[in-house]
Structure 1
Amino acid sequence: MKAILVDDEMDGLRTLQRLLEKHCPQVQVAGTATSAAMAKERINGVQPDLVFLDIQMPGKSGLDLLSDLNSHSFEVIFVTAFNDYVLQALQFSAVDYLLKPVDEDRLIEAVQRAEKRLQEEKKGAQSDTLLHNLEKAGTPADMRLCLPTLKGFMIVKLSEIIYGEADRSYTVFHIEGGKTVLVSKALIEYEELLRGTSFLRVHKSFLINLQHVREYQRGEGGTVIMSNKAEIEISRRKKEAFLDEVRRVFKY
């Protein structure tokens, strides 16, 4: 894989190049850049398979660079110190990112995933999803979630997801229009990822979107009727958290 490394700090470029030479021999560094303008020139000239892209740079950021490019016919592995809303957008979009200082094991795993996507010719869609999510940062309902499936991935709006249901180490998402998607991640991972949005874990087996709740029926824990008419039991120990969240979201 031909790669371009983009980082405004020379030390960062040298460190990443050394790690790639040592741990990822399948990656050939075909060029480096210390600014978005230089990176655009390198990318257009080299036509790389893979770009390691620093997000925070003086002037135009790495994300500005992606917006400027006509097409994303390459895989991107983002490199960042941290930024809460950017991190959320990265996670929702299921793109690979490395936190500085770069951990060699995470680097190896990210390169292997990029290599697999290149072989499957699934390029660019996740980067496009990320750019959309960054535009919608602060309004999670308008953001998109990239769901890894057994065959690849599916991109859906958060607002379209009615609920997620645990299926051993997998999750089944129930989506508007009667669609279901089997996702190769456990429900607890989505509970963490979607924390702070309109999603709430109401049972060990269910993560619901409060925006799709149509009715609540009292009981030991109670039952909710969702927009697709599914009846979901609320566990007794989750009842108060559910009612508190309903009051917060709907000013009940």
Structure 2
Amino acid sequence: MINPSQNTRFFLLPNKHKRKDKIPFDDILYLQGNINYTLIHLYNGKVKISPRTLLYHIQHSLNDSFIRIHRAFCVNKKHLKDTQEVDIKHVTHLFLKDETQLPVSRRKRNALQKL
């Protein structure tokens, strides 16, 4: 049995062998919702697919190191580029450390101000 404190550091992803793969949260750049699937983009460039919605993962799997910036994107705060010189009220895209550019919805800008 997994200790609940350990479970908060790993993303558990079911695999085809009816087991769960443990993905450390630090390895996840962002999650992308695609209808009833979620694409998990990893730091090493790989993409894993989950048969659950993005909302399900936000409610059950993720901890507070992730922030939802768009209806289709949830980003790991640790992989954001430094955005102190950017006016958060007018930002339309966020940049990750690997130069990935993700859109920010107009209604999610308030969540970015709390960063």
Give yes or no for TM over 0.5: yes
Distance 2:62 2:24 in 1: 16
What TM-score, normalized by structure 2, do the two folds share? 0.81
Of structures 1 and 2, the larger Rg is shown by 1
Q: State the Cα RMSD in Å.
A: 2.2
Shift of 1:195: 5.8
CA distance in 2, matches of 1:236, 1:196: 23
Corresponding residue of 2:47: 180
Tell me the amino acid that sits aligned with residue 103 of structure 2: E
Higher RCO (CA < 8 A, seq sep 6+): 2
CA deviation profile, 1:69-88 (whole Å, cap 9, x unmatched):
xxxxxxxxxxxxxxxxxxxx
Determine the C-alpha separation between the residues in 2 that align with 1:222 and 1:172.
Answer: 22
Alignment of 1:105-116 (within 5 A): none
Partner Cα distance (2:61, 2:76) in 1: 10
Give the secondary structure class of the aligned counterpart of 2:21. Answer: strand
2:101 counterpart of 1:231: yes
Secondary structure (helix, strand or coil) at the match of 2:81 reads strand
Are the counterparts in 1 of residues 11 and 61 from structure 2 also a CA contact under 8 Å? Answer: no
Tell me if 1:161 matches 2:41: no
SS of the residue 1:214 aligns to: coil
Q: 1:127-142 counterparts in 2 under 5 A?
A: 127=1, 130-131=2-3, 133-134=4-5, 136=6, 140=8
In structure 1, distance between residues paired with 2:62 and 2:48: 20
Q: Give the Cα–Cα distance (whole angstroms) in 1 for the partners of residues 61 and 23 of structure 2.
A: 14
Deviation at 1:148, TM superposition (A): 2.0
8 Å Cα contact 2:12-2:61 kept in structure 1: no
Please report how far the alpha carbon of residue 191 of structure 1 lies from its aligned counterpart in structure 2 after TM superposition: 1.5
Task: State TM-score, norm by structure 1.
Answer: 0.40
Which deviates more, 231-240 or 207-216? 207-216
C-alpha contact (below 8 Å) 1:221/1:234 kept by paired residues: yes
Q: Distance in 1 between matches of 2:64 and 2:91?
A: 22
Deviation of 1:194 (Å) = 4.8
Runs of 4+ deviating beyond 3 Å:
215-221
- Write the deviation string for residues 152-174 of structure 1: whole angstroms up to 9, x where unpaired: 44211111111000111000001
- Over 3 Å counting, the alpha-carbon distance change for 1:194 and 1:201 in structure 2 is farther
- Tell me, yes or no, if the aligned pair for 2:27 and 2:42 is still in contact at 8 Å: yes
Shift, 1:229, TM fit: 1.8
Give ranges in structure 2 of 5+ residues lacking alignment. Answer: none
CA contact (8 A) 1:221 1:235 kept: no
Give the structure 2 partner of residue 147 of structure 1. Answer: 13
Higher strand proportion (structure 1 or 2): 2
The structure 2 residue matched to 1:199, chosen from 50, 66, 70, is 66
Q: How many residues align?
A: 110
Query: In structure 2, what residue type is equivalent to 1:227?
Result: K
- Structure 1 residues 155 and 196, CA, compared in 2 at 3 Å: closer, same or farther? closer
Identity of aligned residues (%): 21
